[in-house]
Structures are given as C-alpha cells and as structure tokens.
Structure 1
C-alpha cells in the first residue's frame, strides 16, 4: 500500500487554519498522521508543500450527471465528493457509483415532482417521478428506497405553479424520514420555501430570485434547533438571472437572501447545480464552478474560512458523511493541495497543485 506525505504545508483542517506548517501522511485507506513539520519521518513518496495549503477534498452539494467524465472534471478541480440531486435511470447511477472515475457520489436518483410543474416538461424526465397525491408521493419514496438512494429530492413550486401540494409534500417527507433518509427540496421561489418549511424538509436548495426571503422565513431557517440546511447554488442563480434578462428575476435577491441567512446563523452548504442537461436555464460546469460558488458566498458575507467550511466539514455533517470533510488521522484521505492560502484569499482555492481521492493521486494533466 502506497504511503504519501505532504511536507511543510499549511493545513486547513475543515474547521480552521492550523498554526504553523505540518507534515500530513496518508495511505489508500486514510490519513495516518498529522504532525508539526519536521517531526514525523516521511514514509514513501513525499510532496513538497512549501507555499501551499492542504484542505479536505471539497464537497459539491448539488450536481447532476450525464456521463462519467464529469466525475473526472470534479476531481481535477479538487471536488472529491458530489451530492447528486437528480440523475437517472438507476443502472446509470449504479455505473457512476462503481466507475471510480474521480469524485465519489451520493445520489437521490430521479427527483419527485408535480405533474403540472416545470420539471414535468423537461425532456426525458421520468413520468413515474410525477405525483399528484399523498399516496403517490409515498409510493415514489418507497420506489427510491428500493433503488438504494442516499436521499430524497422533492421539487416544490409556489402555490398554483403545478408542484406537489402541502399534503403530498408532507407525505413524501414522512415516508422518507421513516426510511431514515433526508429530504432535499428544490425551492427556487419564496413561496416554495414557505411550503418546504411547512412540509418539514431537511435541506433547501436554491436561493430564490423572485424576492429576498421574508424575515420570518429567515428566522426559521436560522434557528439551529430546526435542523434546516440551505444550499443556495448562487452560481446557478446568477446564471439563470443573466439568461432570463427579466428585471423581476434578480440575482441580488438570491445574494441578499444568503447575506440575511448568514447573519441569522443558518447552516449554509456550498453547491453549484453543475449540469450539462439540454434545456436547463443555465449550464454550470462541473468542478470549476465550486470555486465560483465559494467566491460568491464570500461576496454574500461569509468569511473565506466560513466558505471553506461550507464545502468541507459543514457539508459532511449536513449529509451524514462522517468519514470526510476534515483532515485528521482515521478519516478518508480525500485531499486538495493549492498554492497560497484560501483561508485568507478565497480565490487561492482555484490554484490546484494536487488532488487525492481516497489516497490515490488524481491525474491533473491528461486531457
């Protein structure tokens, strides 16, 4: 088994930038040692970490897939875990899981949506994912559980826009929770956010473009005891606003909502909505877009350290991934080495020098 040591490197451990420089040793199972620089005898190959920072591999909490090459693109950008929010059919998802082509994935399979909403008109969207009643919602959850999904994705729309109604949404949440699964709600409109909170979902994805979220909803999402998590996908929201060119659909609403949520103490997790699907409102590239997302989160008021947490330890905790998101002995060796210090200058996260997934080096050069 190959053992590697990154020497003399600054370390952001998923929570904070550690004082001084460190030697970090890992194999194909896990990080094995984290020691002050020069105090640990390197075993196997050594990587010079001078002038660089070692971070946990990044987690993108909202992606979609069309092919295994996107897993490679993610890993080359330092994204070692991707949370899929809508990919089908099940054999394709299984193939992605088994491919070991780059990023490790967790998937919801196909989302559950309403028969009259926009998702029902997406080319190729599976008809057996569309629901109109609470009983249909329960059956769809049971089907996804049978497919071995990691979480449930529920597409919610404001009242009258064709999404699942409150009773159906609650039934989906109850059935998923009974199966031990989190529910992630697509809620890109302020009205959908209100419905998501009423239904009791665990994670809300997308910061609305129609208006800044109302103070009462911000307070609910900011209450840590509520357990809610928000994945704003600012990269996607910015792209949608630009492409629509509608003054009523304003990226500033999404940005200012994130600012308000951050001030209220909400749990914010980085996700991009990376996808190349035909007909989507904005194409978002896999991998590089997470670095855009981190910068947009900082522009919205997070510190660089808070933004990095949103893509490492906070994301891992939000999606119950206890083996990653931090650098410490015993955890999976998903690691990102960058030139400079993203804990003080978030743009340094883009300067990728090395990536390892489960201790294996990622080829950064082959086309």
Structure 2
C-alpha cells in the first residue's frame, strides 16, 4: 500500500460539509466521503467532540487521520471519522461551546473574525492510502486501536459491505430506527453500535453472524431479517403480555425458534412468572422467561450456600458423603440442597448437605 502525507486546514475540510443521513456524510467540497460502508454512526459524546474543537482552537496537535484514495481521485475516511465530524459540525453551527477563553456558549458564527480565522486555518495531517480494497480494510483494522474502537459487528459490516448491510443498517442501526421503535423494551445495547443487528443475526442463524452475512452479502435488502425480528417480538408480546423491565435483554430469538410452534397458555405462564418474580432464591429474574418454557434451572442463577453453611454441614457429616458413604476432603465436596428448590427447598443451613463431586453432579431433582 502506498501512503502519502497530506496537510489541509479545517476550513478546507469543512467546505461543503453535508450530513444526508442514510445518503451519506461528505466534506472537502464533496470530495471526502466521511462515512463509507465500513464506518459507523457518529458516536462521540458532547465532551469528546468539544475536546476535538478545543484542541484545534488552541493549536494543539490532533492525532493523524487516514484517508483512502479512490479511483476517481476522491477520498474516503479510513480513520478519523469522529474527529472530522466534530470539527465540521462546529463550523456548520450544529452546537455551541466555550472557546478561546470565553466562558459563554458560542456557536461558530458568534466567534470574532480573528477567532474564526484561527480555527479555520488550523492544519490537519492526513495520510493518503492507495491500494487494493482488501489492503484498505486490513489497514483500517490495524489502525483502529485507539479512541472509540469498532465492535465486532462494525468490522463485519466492513468486510461484508454491500446492499444487504446498507439495508440492515436502516432497520437495525440508526437512532430511533424501526427495530428500536418496535423492540427497544426487549433489547439490550444500542442500535448505533450495532448491538441490535448483531443480536438478531445471532438469533436467526444459531449464533453464526459471519456465516449469515457472507451468505446474504449480495441480497438486495435485509427484509427477511426484519420480518423475522418483527415476528419474534410479536411472539414475545403474545406469550408474555404483561411487560416487566427484566424482560429487556432476554435472548428472545432462541426461545422463539424453539417454542414458536407450540400452543402456549399465556395466562398460565403469567401466573408462574408472577410467583417466581417474588422468589428470593432466584438471583437472575430475567432467566424466568426461559425457565417457564424449558424448565432449565440454570437460567435462574439460584442462591448458593455460603462458605459458613457448607463448613457447618461438612463438620456435621464428619466429611462423609451421605450418598456414597465415603470420606472426602472439604475441597472435594459441594454444597447441595437436601430438598431441591423445585420442591420448595430453601438455601438455609438446615437444608444443606455436602456431597462428593460425583454424587452432586448426578443427583438431579430426586
């Protein structure tokens, strides 16, 4: 890859700045694509973008940026999107901040003539990178080691960029996107960091995100994934109509995949859920929804016996496992409920016994 240093001013960079949402973000009089397919949405917070502008206003150096040179002579940002947008947004009048020692909030147009000139004349160093598309992407991965790092899903969006990714991002990766509007109460993470998109691909393809994206890379749109997501959320609402905050972030897709064809009594499920919510033995309340469907107690993170309770039981048993009658060291045994939780047993001292590893593992709910 050929790399050439290049220098320009903030004024030159911000010329013709335009954020056209899904249509793209451009600057440098239309010659710089700030948000190519592998880039993410703007994620700097207020403090971070102000720090960029303040750095430039004081003449302090910003980290070098990297642009890829296109065949037509235009450029696209490989690294530096957040810094570029921060500077352009301020010059474009999108936010105000204290600047040049003045305490009041000032938009760019409110600066003095000399202050404007100082900011617009600030010089930015850019490395222009020329090479094959695969080299460009590799370089992008290598230099993405500071600042707001890419998530795995953002990198996969880069590798499999195309019509499918562009369509999927419209559904799942925008602020207030359709997926957020429909299912934000049931999803964890944020759309703009690709959390929604990654989760739903995992749901539909048994955890294999890259495999699904590779298979559908050239599809004209992601309508199949969007329809699947809508179906999952509607199934959740029908199966558990009483919403609780602990439903947020449950892995709903796998539950839908497994139980979607079963006839489920939503009223009966609600009775069980409302009872289990009040059970102090259950440490992970969000696991209740999977438990009432498949009966696996591992979803619940049930309370375990304290070290003191286990020591007392071990001394009481004199180190003898009641299941096999053999003696074991304390470290070779595990605390166990005499009466299982599913049969009303509580995590209290009188319900604690110490079993050897083998018998504890094979006990089950007897």
TM-score by length of 2: 0.21
Larger radius of gyration: 2
Which one has the bigger strand percentage?
1
Whose relative contact order is higher, 1 or 2, with alpha carbons under 8 Å and at least 6 apart?
Answer: 1
Structure-1-length-normalised TM-score: 0.21
Higher helix share: 2
